[in-house]
């Protein structure tokens, strides 16, 4: 036990010497992640950059296959290798260079500095270990406490997420889907991480339970003064929880801004398409306008804009030239080649 305490202190001191002062909870620059196999290279994330200020919530939206989960796993250096490879990029969490940390240092960072609520709690929870022990495991790793104290804290976390503490001795299969998601939240927040990543935390839940989980996540984030990154397909959830929004398509961030920027001053055609795909509550007889086509194969991305084949505003320049970033304000940007094409601008004005 004493040796473990010494090792914990040694690693903590080493991390502090590597930490730099920063106003950002998370800072990512030019992150590129590929999945490399003998047959093909899947370009999952292609040079994304963003900065998340402390105590704010960032929503990452986009269709399945956009690279959202891979990008967030990179923040914890948890991209499965093989076949995943972080090709390039600088990743800082709380001023720590994640890619420059040893495995023992990463073990201390995960759970304490940054934690993740996974999409499917049934597969992320260990089926043969009680939920109380799974929460206590994280506490024992990061705190100098006894097993009894860890279990008491675990029971307290269960109470905090709305589960009877007396159920700490039960197994994941004995809980409903909503309850298992609450257990996942309790594990992720047990050590009060500075950054919480939530990967589709309500996708498998009914609407009533979704509202409860979202309310719980907001309360615990504010209580712990944490920053949060929310991966979701649901723009309604983004509107409810997020301060900033990143729209991802084919491994790129195609639009980024505050909630007001993206929702009220939409600039990218893909973001526009996502909003047009939503039902109109003010006109219930209006037809949905789905985005035509499918997301491109990430192993065979086109030379130009990846969204061009599906974009109603696309020009020949879009198909030939990769999009570049245009800043509309200090907080709002979009990657769209066509913004310098007058024909595009006229056509867009006509449709608005």
Query: Residue 1: CB partners within 8 Å, gap ≥ 6?
Result: none
Whether the per-residue pLDDT at 29 is higher than 60: the answer is yes
Strand partners of residue 91: 28
pLDDT digits (tens, 9 = 90+) for 68-102: 999 999 999 999 988 999 999 999 999 999 999 99
Which of these CATH numbers, 3.70.10.10, 1.10.3720.10, 3.40.50.300, 3.90.1150.10, describes 2-249? 3.40.50.300
Residue of 159, 164, 115, 161 whose CA lies nearest to 137: 115
Task: Decide: residue 138, CB within 10 A, 0-12 exposed, 13-18 middle, 19+ buried.
Answer: buried
Angle ∠(226,246,40) on CA atoms, nearest 5: 110
Both tokens of 55, joined, read 């105590």
Three-state DSSP at 8 gives helix
pLDDT digits (tens, 9 = 90+) for 174-221: 998 888 988 998 999 899 899 999 998 877 677 777 788 888 888 888
Residue of 152, 234, 219, 148 whose CA lies nearest to 185: 219
Question: What pTM, to 2 d.p., does this model score?
Answer: 0.89
Distance between CA atoms of 246 and 252, rounded to whole angstroms?
A: 10
Whether the per-residue pLDDT at 171 is higher than 80: the answer is yes
Phi, psi dihedral angles at 11 (to 5 degrees): -70, -40
Distance between CA atoms of 266 and 269, rounded to whole angstroms?
A: 8
Q: Where in the chain are the domains? A: 2-249, 254-351
Three-state DSSP at 252 gives strand
């Amino acid at each position: 036990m004493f040796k473990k305490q010494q090792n914990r202190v040694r690693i903590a001191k080493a991390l502090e010497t590597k930490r730099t002062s920063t106003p950002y909870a998370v800072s990512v620059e030019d992150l590129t992640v590929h999945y490399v196999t003998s047959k093909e290279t899947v370009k999952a994330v292609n040079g994304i950059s963003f900065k998340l200020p402390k105590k704010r919530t960032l929503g990452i939206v986009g269709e399945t296959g956009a690279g959202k989960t891979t990008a967030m796993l990179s923040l914890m250096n948890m991209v499965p290798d093989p076949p995943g490879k972080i090709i390039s990029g600088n990743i800082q969490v709380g001023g720590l260079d994640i890619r420059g940390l040893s495995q023992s240092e990463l073990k201390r960072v995960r759970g304490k500095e940054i934690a993740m609520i996974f999409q499917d709690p049934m597969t992320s929870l260990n089926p043969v270990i009680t939920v109380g022990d799974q929460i206590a495991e994280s506490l024992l790793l990061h705190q100098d406490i006894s097993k009894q104290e860890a279990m008491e804290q675990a029971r307290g976390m269960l109470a905090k997420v709305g589960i009877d503490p007396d159920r700490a001795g039960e197994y994941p299969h004995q809980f409903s889907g909503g309850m298992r998601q609450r257990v996942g939240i309790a594990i992720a927040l047990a050590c009060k991480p500075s950054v919480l990543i939530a990967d589709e935390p309500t996708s498998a839940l009914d609407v009533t339970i979704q509202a409860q989980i979202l309310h719980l996540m907001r309360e615990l984030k504010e209580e712990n003064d944490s920053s949060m990154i929310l991966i979701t397909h649901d723009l309604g959830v983004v509107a409810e929880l997020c301060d900033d929004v990143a729209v991802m398509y084919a491994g790129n961030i195609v639009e980024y801004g505050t909630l007001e920027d993206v929702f009220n001053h939409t600039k990218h055609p893909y973001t526009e398409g996502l909003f047009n795909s939503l039902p109109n509550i003010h006109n219930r007889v209006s037809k949905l306008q789905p985005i035509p086509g499918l997301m491109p194969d990430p192993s065979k991305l086109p030379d130009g804009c990846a969204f061009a084949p599906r974009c109603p505003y696309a020009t020949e320049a879009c198909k030939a030239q990769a999009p570049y970033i245009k800043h509309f304000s200090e907080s709002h940007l979009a990657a769209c080649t066509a913004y310098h094409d007058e024909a595009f601008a006229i056509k867009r004005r006509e449709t608005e």
